[in-house]
Amino acid sequence: MKNILFINTGGTISSSGEQGGGLTPTQSAEHIVAAVPELKDICNIEAMTLMSVDSTNIQPEEWVTIAQTVHEHLPHYDGIVIAHGTDTMAYTASALSFMLGALDKPVVITGSQVSVLAEHSDSRINIKDAFRTASTELSGVFVVFNGKIINGARASKVRTKSYNAFESINHPYIGYLEEDSIVYNDIPHTQRPAGHVYNDHYSPNVFLLKLIPGMQPDIFDAVKALGYKGIIVEGFGMGGVPFKEINLIDKIEELVKSGISIVVTTQCLYEGGDLTIYEVGQKVLEKGVIPCYDMTTEALTTKMMWVLGQTDHPAEVERMMATNYVDEITMPIR
């Protein structure tokens, strides 16, 4: 049997209302494992509680703590399962994907929409599925939820209450967990870039700006004044940015020339953006912004933080943002 480390970080799965004032994480890693007795037939488990945090309160510093713990312990185990709150799980999964580098073992993140203490909870099946996945020969970071295995840098929480809270965005599911087997999708192997090794350096100075009709250009002055080094602009449709009655493009050009890296993406969840199709995309692309194609917001945000932790040179930021490290991006074929 495989030897798996279980790391509890908190979230709904470990929550109770016993302290009043709403659900809060209280259960230890050992309590969660004890609630799923079938695990003893799947693998050997060692459990540890790293932190007990509602994932809304998870910050980049906690990503580093989790990454360092995984990096330290993974050589001694066949895989690792992490229990995490669902609200920012996709951000943590993406951040770990970039920080941990190329892996030869599975790191699986899961959680639940209902506490492990509840009678009708999705926690027990999700935990069981996570340990089943961590006991396979997969390599990389994955989110396992509601019977699906998702690339960690392609996961996104799309429902607030339902058990099928997560979906794989613009990428096939890695596989599906059935009662007695795991069914894998036939996904072409992508060559990993050389030199993608453990590196937990990051910059928190990344701002996400969602455009709305009527937004004034001086918003960019305010963002610059706050000291942000990277800006992610969620444009309309394929990534369009207005330039007529209200002109945001000139202000974007000004910031790019000042050395701030700006990525333009789409507000649409599926199918990605393409700045080459419409005039409203071409004009902003000409100003030196970085296209992001079909990355999720979570992957795009954490990747830019990670990239800016390595370099603030605009040309190198652009190169790294366009590099496919963990199948987080699909580059178009021209």
Q: Residues with catalytic annotation? A: 12
Concatenate the DSSP letters of all residues of 12-66 into one string. GGGEESTTSSS-EE---HHHHHHT-GGGGGT-EEEEEE-----GGG--HHHHHHH
Helix (H) or strand (E) holding 290: strand 290-291
Contacts 24+ apart (CB under 8 A), 305-308: 305/60, 305/95, 305/202, 305/203, 305/204, 305/206, 305/230, 306/95, 306/98, 306/99, 306/199, 306/201, 306/202, 307/230, 308/202, 308/203, 308/205, 308/206, 308/229, 308/230, 308/261
Cα 251 to Cα 295: distance, rounded to the nearest angstrom: 24
